[in-house]
Chains A and B, each alone.
Chain A
Amino acid sequence: MDRNSVKNYAEMRIIDSHCHIGITPHFSRTAEELLDEMDNLGIDMAVICPMGAHVVCKNKEGNELIGNTVKKYPKRFVGLACVNPWFEKEAVYELRRSINELGLVGLKLHPPMQGFQANEKIVFPLIEEAIQLKIPIYIHSGTPVFSLPLQILELSQRYPEGVFVLGHMGGADFFLDIPKSFNRVSNVYLETSLTCHPVFISEAISKLGSKRLLFGSDSPTSQVRSELEKIKVLNLEEKVLNDILWENACRLFRI
C-alpha cells in the first residue's frame, strides 16, 4: 500500500456531488433514505437533484422538492435546479426562481431525457442565465447522440465564462474522448459516478490534475458504497483524495 494512502476514510470529510431524490417508473428515493445511506458511510454532504418526470416536464415540482429538502436538512444537502430548455423563456424564469427563491446552487441538464443535443442552440439561453447567476452547470454525459464529452467540451469553449460539470465523465464508452482534449479548457469539472473503471479516474488525475474531479455516486442508480470503493482501490494520496472528495465540491458549490 502506498505510504501516503489514506487508511481511515472515517476521518475524511466527504461530499457526494451527484445524488437523486424523487420517483421514476423504475425506482424512488426519499431524502431520509439517502441520509441513511450517507450516514452508514460517513458522507457529510450530498448535492441532490431531481429525477424522472421532474427532469423532463414537471420541473417546478422537482425544484420545489429539492428546495424543500435542502431547507429541511441545510447541513447535509445542497441542491441543483433542473429545467428543460424546450420550455424556453419559462425554463429561464424557473431557473432564476430556483436559485433566487428556492436557494438552489446550480443547474442540472440531462440532454437525452430532455431531448436535445448538449451543445445545440436551444440550451444557450439557459447557459447564459446560469452565467449571469454565477452558478455551475452539471450536464449528464456518455449517452450518444445527445450528450457526448466532446459536445460538452464544445459548449464549454463557446461559453468560457461558464463553469461546467461533465457528469459521469463520459460514462462507460466515451472516457477516451477526455484525457487528450479537456486540457484545452479549465472550466469543466469531471464527476466520477458511473465511469466504469478505477483506471479512468487515475488517468484523469494524471492528465488533468486532481483539482478538476468531483466524487459522485448517482445514488440510487449506483450505490454510494461501491462508487466510493472505486476511489478507495486507487490508494490515492491524501491531498489528492481530499481534493476529489471534499475541496473541489466546496469551491464549486460554495459550501
Chain B
Amino acid sequence: MIIDAHCHYFTKNAKLDFVQGSSIEDHIKDCDLAGIDKFVLFTIGGLFRDFIESNDEIAAVANKFPSRIIPFGTINPWYEEESLEEINRCIKVLKLKGFKLHPWMTGFPINSDLMDTMMREISRFDVPVIIHSGTPPWSEPLQIAELAYRFPKVKFIMAHMGITDLWKEAIDAARMCSNIWLETSGVPSLPIKTAVEEIGSDRIVFGSDSPYGGKGGHIFQLNKVRFLGLKEEDEGRILGKNLSKILNLD
C-alpha cells in the first residue's frame, strides 16, 4: 500500500500566486494514476488564516472519501485559547488523525512557550504532528529535535527533511530523537539515500506535497524515491508501511 504523507487541500481562502489547487476528485485521479492508495490531507489556506473553518472543510472532504483520505488539522498558536480548544475538537469531534504545523507560513516561533503550550495539549492524544522543515529561522531540523526531546511521546514527521540546505541536520535530528520521521517531498535524491544508510528505512516516509508541485508533481516525487533503486523492503517501508504504523492503520 502506498501512502502519501503530505498533501494539501486548497481550502476556500487559499490562493498562492501561480500554484493552482485541484479539486479533491482531480487529486484522487492523480493518485490513481500514480498508484497512491491513501494520502494525508491538510489545509493550505488554514495555515495562514481561518484555521477553524479549514479544519471543518478537511473533515467534510475526508468524509466524502474515507477510504482514501487521512485528514489532519491545523492550529495557530497565536490564538492560544481557540487553538487549545480546536486541538480537542479536531480529535474528538472531527476525528482528524494528526496535525500539520507550518511555523513560517503561519508566522509563529517554533521555539516559543506558545508552541510548547500547544504541544502539551496535542501530546494528550496519540496523534502525529507533521512540521515543515528546512527554512530558517523557525523551521530548522534541530529546532524540531528540541521539541521532540521535550515531547518524547509525540511522533514528529519532519516534512521535506530539511529540504536542500539542512538535510544533513535533518538526519542528525532523526538520529538523536527516535520519535522523528523524515518525509521525502522537496528534498533531492542523495539525502534520502543517505538517510536510509545512516538511520534506516523505517524512519523515512514518502510525501509529495501535492498539488503544490503542479501538474505531474505526484509522479515526480514518487519516482524520485523509486529511482533510488532501494531494496524492495526498504522502499515498501518508505512508501507506506512506516506511515501505516505511525497512524495505527493496521
A binding-site residues for B, Cβ under 8 Å: 26-27, 112, 142-144, 168, 171-173, 176, 179, 194, 196-199, 202-203, 206, 218, 220-223, 225-226, 229-230, 232-235
CB–CB A221/B190 < 8 A: yes
Residue of A nearest to B219 (CB): A233
CB–CB A222/B215 < 8 A: no
| Least distance between A6 CB and chain B CB atoms (Å) | 14
Q: Give the chain B neighbours of A143 by CB distance below 8 A.
A: 164-165
Residue of A nearest to B132 (CB): A173
User: In the complex, A2→B240 CA distance in Å?
Assistant: 32
CB–CB A173/B135 < 8 A: yes
CB–CB A198/B163 < 8 A: no
| Least distance between B108 CB and chain A CB atoms (Å) | 17
User: In the complex, A198→B18 CA distance in Å?
Assistant: 12
7 pairs of A and B residues whose beta carbons are closest in the complex: A233-B216, A199-B214, A222-B188, A196-B186, A197-B213, A172-B163, A223-B189
| Least distance between A43 CB and chain B CB atoms (Å) | 15
| Least distance between B126 CB and chain A CB atoms (Å) | 31
Q: Give the chain B neighbours of A226 by CB distance below 8 A.
A: 188-189, 220, 223-224, 227
Does B76 count as interface, using CB distance less than 8 angstroms? no
Residue of A nearest to B222 (CB): A229
Interface size class of B (residues with CB under 8 A): 20 to 34
Consensus secondary structure, chain B interface: loop
Q: Give the chain A neighbours of B113 by CB distance below 8 A.
A: none
| Least distance between A199 CB and chain B CB atoms (Å) | 3
| Least distance between B127 CB and chain A CB atoms (Å) | 27
B159-184 interface with A by 8 A CB criterion: 160, 163-165, 168
Contact of B220 among A173, A203, A233 (CB under 8 A): A233
Q: Provided the pairs A221-B188, A222-B189 are in contact, do residues A172 and B164 lie with their beta carbons within 8 angstroms?
A: yes
CB–CB A196/B164 < 8 A: yes
Does B185 count as interface, using CB distance less than 8 angstroms? yes
Q: Give the chain B neighbours of A196 by CB distance below 8 A.
A: 160, 163-164, 185-187, 209, 213
| Least distance between A221 CB and chain B CB atoms (Å) | 5
Q: Give the chain A neighbours of B215 by CB distance below 8 A.
A: 198-199, 202, 233-235
CB-CB contacts of B201-245 with A at 8 A, as 1s and 0s?
000000001001111110110011001100000000000000000
CB–CB A229/B190 < 8 A: no
CB–CB B163/A173 < 8 A: yes
Residue of B nearest to A143 (CB): B165
CB–CB A142/B165 < 8 A: yes
Residue of B nearest to A142 (CB): B164
Q: Give the chain A neighbours of B17 by CB distance below 8 A.
A: 176, 179
Q: Give the chain A neighbours of B168 by CB distance below 8 A.
A: 26
Q: Provided the pairs A197-B213, A198-B214, A220-B190 are in contact, do residues A203 and B223 lie with their beta carbons within 8 angstroms?
A: no
| Least distance between A18 CB and chain B CB atoms (Å) | 12
CB–CB B220/A230 < 8 A: yes
Q: Provided the pairs A226-B227, A233-B216 are in contact, do residues A197 and B189 lie with their beta carbons within 8 angstroms?
A: no
Q: Give the chain B neighbours of A194 by CB distance below 8 A.
A: 164, 188
Q: A220-B190, A223-B189 are in contact. List 6 more A-B contacts (CB 8 A).
A: A194-B188, A196-B164, A198-B214, A198-B217, A221-B189, A229-B227
CB–CB B219/A172 < 8 A: no
Does B194 count as interface, using CB distance less than 8 angstroms? yes
User: In the complex, A44→B223 CA distance in Å?
Assistant: 23
